[in-house]
């Protein structure tokens, strides 16, 4: 979770994000208002950190739009943790 939060902060790179409380329930669209290009940058950074098996873009491409709109930080952290446990 800490790596995901740190990556989000680095990807957004604005002053306000340093003091913003990011937790598992923090939503990308409503709470962080993250742009799609920022999300792709974040996904690439997490994949570089954890390895190619953490294919966030591929994982997300199979989700319905409702799930994508409600996606939160905990969902990403859980996906990564599941990949790490499997390997």
pLDDT beyond 90 at 45: yes
What is the separation of C-alpha 33 from the centre of its chain, rounded to a whole number of angstroms? 12
pLDDT beyond 90 at 86: no
Contact 37/45 with Cβ under 8 angstroms?
Answer: no
CATH of the domain at 23: 1.10.1200
Helix (H) or strand (E) holding 40: helix 36-50
Average pLDDT over residues 33-61: 91
Domain enclosing residue 66, as ranges: 2-86
Number of domains in the chain: 1
pTM, two decimals, is: 0.90
């Amino acid at each position: 979770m800490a790596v995901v939060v740190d990556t989000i902060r680095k990807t957004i790179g604005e002053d306000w994000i340093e003091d913003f409380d990011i937790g598992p329930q923090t939503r990308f669209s409503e709470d962080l208002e993250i742009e799609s290009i920022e999300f792709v940058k974040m996904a690439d950074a997490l994949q570089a950190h954890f390895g190619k098996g953490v294919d966030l873009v591929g994982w997300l491409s199979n989700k319905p739009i409702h799930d994508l709109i409600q996606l939160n930080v905990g969902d990403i952290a859980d996906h990564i943790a599941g990949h790490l446990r499997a390997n």
